[in-house]
Amino acid sequence: MQLATKLIHAGIEPDPATGAIMTPIYQTSTYVQEAPGKHKGYEYARTQNPTRTVLENAIAAIENGKYGIAFSSGMAAIEAVLHTLRPGDKVIASNDLYGGSYRLFTRIFAKYGIEFQFVDLQDAGRLEQFADERTRLIWIETPTNPLIRIVDIQACAEIAHAHGALLCVDNTFASPWLQNPLDWGADIVVHSATKYLGGHSDVVLGVVVVKDESLAEQLHFIQNSAGAVPGPHDCWLVLRGMKTLHVRMQRHCENARQIAAFLRRHPKVQQVHWCGFPDHPNHAIARRQMRDFGAMMSFVLKDDRIETAHRVLSSTRLFALAESLGGVESLIGHPASMTHASIPREERLKSGLSDSLIRLSVGIEDVNDLIADLEQALQQA
């Protein structure tokens, strides 16, 4: 089954009770049992829910995995993966990553004796310098947030496995339409389904996908025991969003291609970070492991002052100034004060994230309207 067909049909069957083509929202907290321990596969809604089951089966199929595990947010999904670790374990993470992930790593889990090292992994071979017998997990984003750096998934997987570690890829920026990390050797894929999978800025949810049965059992145990589960209506919203992921992503990418080119030739723009440019670092790797180059980009103005960036950020009319990404509407953001504010400034600057960097999530509006909006906003620079 091709991916576009999977997005509409995988894991989904007509409701056996009514024949409803859309998965029902099972808004219930518990299930009647015929006798103690004798039930129809469902006992209590924290443990299982039929709507959630369909979502988990669907996302597993779409990411070419075997097991999907859904959580109440992307951060809860990340937290569940980290709960598989023990005190004394070491995690190597790419140094350009979402601020919420950095905060969870350094301010929550580091307190429990887990060591985190943040490394520029644009050259995956650098992993060899840092991996040792305590390394249990390699954590990467590709493309990264917000500098759109590309990390070689296959190379990282090979090095991770040689050291007895697992590779986890946060695939939120790419979405399963553009990239399937399990196909390149990753062991775990996580998504903030709030973003491209949901696609309409109306739900918060996270998912983890794996192939290994024992790892899936651990994650299901954590899901049930810790209880960070999504509600059935949220699961239904993501299922609805996934059915149009392919057509949305095609328009996202088409628009982004034109907007990246517009920004690159604009006289007030110094640099544009978008992995579709042939001279973008590791562009060849992006071409190999991605189907297209996505709709996330960031740029720096020639007048590289935070005050100038703020004027541009406050002047758009179609690009909404807001956190998040991946919805049908275009968003503009300031990572240093919004999505990455939890990373200390000196650490942001080390990784190349300047105070004036502007990030775009390009939506599916008419591209000419989007370009006109950016043009009038850039006049404020």
Task: Please give the positions annotated as active site.
Answer: 46, 98, 170, 195
**Identity of the amino acid at 44:** Y
Nearest 10 degrees: Cα torsion 313, 272, 175, 142 = -120
Q: What is the DSSP letter of 358?
A: E
Closest CA to 222 of 85, 99, 54: 85
Identify the three-state secondary structure at position 185. Answer: coil
**Distance between CA 258 and CA 371 in Å, rounded?**
8
Instruction: Give the separation between CA 1 and CA 12, rounded to whole angstroms.
Output: 14
Which residues lie closer than 8 Å to 1 by C-beta, 6 or more apart?
9, 10
Place of tokens 């894929």: 189
CA 193 to chain centre: 7
Cis peptide before 281 (omega within 30 of 0): no
Backbone angles phi, psi at 301, to 5 degrees: -80, 155
Three-class DSSP category at 85: coil
Classified as helix, coil or strand, 166 is: strand
